[in-house]
Structure 1
């Protein structure tokens, strides 16, 4: 639990450096799916980042005084031990067990929040909390603050300053330590095996649902916590739907199959996409488009280096895609002009309408500003983030071609995406998902076997 204690200490040091205060970080609530059936529970990422504690009904409270001579406190509130409830729902650490196992200074039953937190807030110059994420918790914290305001004549007052606790945590989470990277490597390895299994299983007559089942089987078989996000399994024309949900569509000879799927391991996500031919070989038109997308992805990955900006991989990918669209006839050179015109006017967005990358970590679309941070300057006025070792991101260019009168018919309903998970290092980047083949020759060889 040492890594979690270090993170709490870093946040406490940040709070102390800004005059001290109290931070409140609750975990996620258990949500009802339907009737009296709950969704599968998953803890809040901010909460887990600071605790490693995966049980529900838990809150972290951090107390930092501006005076460095006074000790800071990290407190956990969690469910009490309950032998009867554990028969039904499994083991609970309980406050004392959690304090000993997870390295908190103190731990109390979750029911004791009302007793402890208002008193801590009354003595605090500032409150660190993530307003706007959970209406129930917003109301709870607001009620504590209002209660303190009502005691003003007794000399009690709420904190005068409010901070969004997510801001410093986002900066911390943006740079992964070696243990985090190890979890992400393992998540990528498991997801790579699932992609390979899907390639070997895919054939005419199989449905998207069946492909999804193979992915889930492979995730669980190798120790993954769960899918990191709902898997995208798209056959034929569905490949042009960027977030297609698997359905009853049956794979046909000559179709492409696009699989965007990744597991979560030790709470860290992977996010990998491959697009391959159901019949085992790419058609001429599919081959043309695949070569463009793969070349764009390789150009983008080459830009993932320390000192480059977050937008550099996207800019590199767009230029390759734009040139390929012109060379293949997907865009009319007489109408669209040169590659600079296509990029400048945004004509490529008709077939590539998204960005090339996003941060990756505890969340599949992980936290962290995409622009350099600067006090008092609006986000739009700041340059793109400079890449630093420890940052992790996806690289996922694509081409999605819907039928249209001005589009060559041989390209209709071709959707291709190639996506990898990449970590920034001091030198060349590390492709975490390198175990998944992505050249056409490799993919066709696997499917032929």
Structure 2
């Protein structure tokens, strides 16, 4: 967790972008039932986490220009806490989170009625169903008791500000992301060392995830992908039910999470430790494309150039290996590489593995 000052600054910067007489509502994630009374591991909403550092479910943050920051949380409940864990409770919100006012969650409706009485503009992440439901309910309740509907006349997507704020990482965020990358790499190395024919894909995935935990990461950033042979050609293959065969390649796409920040690494290697000639040719082609693309990742150059560099080198190689027909420029124009490389080259990383932020600014690639 960052210092309280970091979260306070984030909220202040966000409020500075909001119009007068506006209010922002950001909901925490809810616990999700896996089956019957068993739950999936809880993971906080990234936007909410970014603004508060609070990791309990069901909370709601309410902020606005000229307003104290308010956090609505589950109240203390000694009996339930014996079963499901400790709660912070509203009385500790200011001391532990640096948020001005803490309220029990059941006070949300009443407080919003009062706050919305003088508000003309409400902002929330449109992609968050829970935030949307809270706003819808509050506006409906306001409309039933008052005809002054002109007061609350605008809704806006808070993501337009949040996404841009999250796109630019601080030095501390970068250090955390480097640690997520380091641990993720160690997981891949452990898998390469442990892999042998006859293992299942799932067993190899367990090696990766075990190393993550042993190295200090509490969780994976996304479902670990391990695909042997033809399964490696399925981009998001998560079945992991087949056995690894000698002579095949195996692809691993896996990353850990550190303080909410994701790692994401994909590597391919031979199950038995030795490449065939054909496998080595393709591996070297991909490695060269990656190296040339990485060389373009410098300040002042765009993500588009990074991708185009990789595509050009891959297309050249596919022509040289007689997998697709040339000439190069026509192959690029016709996108003949698409059956073999149908996705982009890289993406933003952060609190989400495919992190938020615009890839263009004023019509130009970033």
State the TM-score, normalizing by the size of structure 2: 0.96
- 1:126 maps to 121
Which residue of the other structure, out of 324, 339, 345, is the alignment partner of 2:328?
339
Between stretches 195-204 and 139-148, larger displacement belongs to: 139-148
Residue correspondence of structure 1 range 21-36 to structure 2 within 5 A: 21-36=22-37
Give the total of aligned pairs.
363
- 1:53 maps to 54
- Give the whole-Å Cα distance in 2 for the aligned partners of 1:248 and 1:371: 40
- 1:397 maps to none
- 2:89 maps to 94
- 1:271 maps to 264
Residue correspondence of structure 1 range 288-327 to structure 2 within 5 A: 288-327=281-320
- Give the whole-Å Cα distance in 2 for the aligned partners of 1:151 and 1:237: 62
- 2:135 maps to 141
What is the CA distance between 1:146 and its match in structure 2? 2.1
Contact 2:113 2:138 (C-alpha < 8 Å) held by counterparts? yes
Contact 1:130 1:166 (C-alpha < 8 Å) held by counterparts? yes
- 2:213 maps to 220
- 1:181 maps to 174
- 1:354 maps to 343
What is the CA distance between 1:245 and its match in structure 2? 1.2
Contact 1:23 1:129 (C-alpha < 8 Å) held by counterparts? yes
- 2:355 maps to 366
What is the CA distance between 1:56 and its match in structure 2? 0.6
- Give the whole-Å Cα distance in 2 for the aligned partners of 1:148 and 1:289: 63
What is the CA distance between 1:247 and its match in structure 2? 2.1
What is the CA distance between 1:96 and its match in structure 2? 1.6
2:250 aligned counterpart, secondary structure: strand
Residues 280/145 of structure 1: CA separation in 2 closer, same or farther (3 Å cut): same
Q: Which runs of 5+ in 1 are unaligned?
A: 65-70, 375-381, 386-449
The one-character-per-residue Cα deviations of 1:214-258 (angstroms, maximum 9, x if unpaired) are: 112111112212110001101111111111114221111111111
Q: Is 1:9 matched with 2:41? A: no
1:275 aligned counterpart, secondary structure: strand
The one-character-per-residue Cα deviations of 1:95-119 (angstroms, maximum 9, x if unpaired) are: 1212211100111011110110121
The one-character-per-residue Cα deviations of 1:374-406 (angstroms, maximum 9, x if unpaired) are: 4xxxxxxx2222xxxxxxxxxxxxxxxxxxxxx
What is the CA distance between 1:20 and its match in structure 2? 4.1
- Give the whole-Å Cα distance in 1 for the aligned partners of 2:312 and 2:280: 19
Contact 1:12 1:72 (C-alpha < 8 Å) held by counterparts? no
1:305 aligned counterpart, secondary structure: coil
What is the CA distance between 1:143 and its match in structure 2? 2.2
What is the CA distance between 1:72 and its match in structure 2? 3.4
1:187 aligned counterpart, secondary structure: helix
Contact 1:231 1:259 (C-alpha < 8 Å) held by counterparts? yes
Contact 2:70 2:100 (C-alpha < 8 Å) held by counterparts? yes
What is the CA distance between 1:125 and its match in structure 2? 2.1
- Give the whole-Å Cα distance in 1 for the aligned partners of 2:142 and 2:93: 30
What is the CA distance between 1:132 and its match in structure 2? 4.2
Q: Which runs of 5+ in 2 are unaligned?
A: none
- Give the whole-Å Cα distance in 2 for the aligned partners of 1:340 and 1:122: 62
Runs of 4+ in structure 1 deviating by more than 4 angstroms, as ranges, are 155-158
- Give the whole-Å Cα distance in 2 for the aligned partners of 1:40 and 1:21: 35
- 2:161 maps to 168
What is the CA distance between 1:313 and its match in structure 2? 0.5
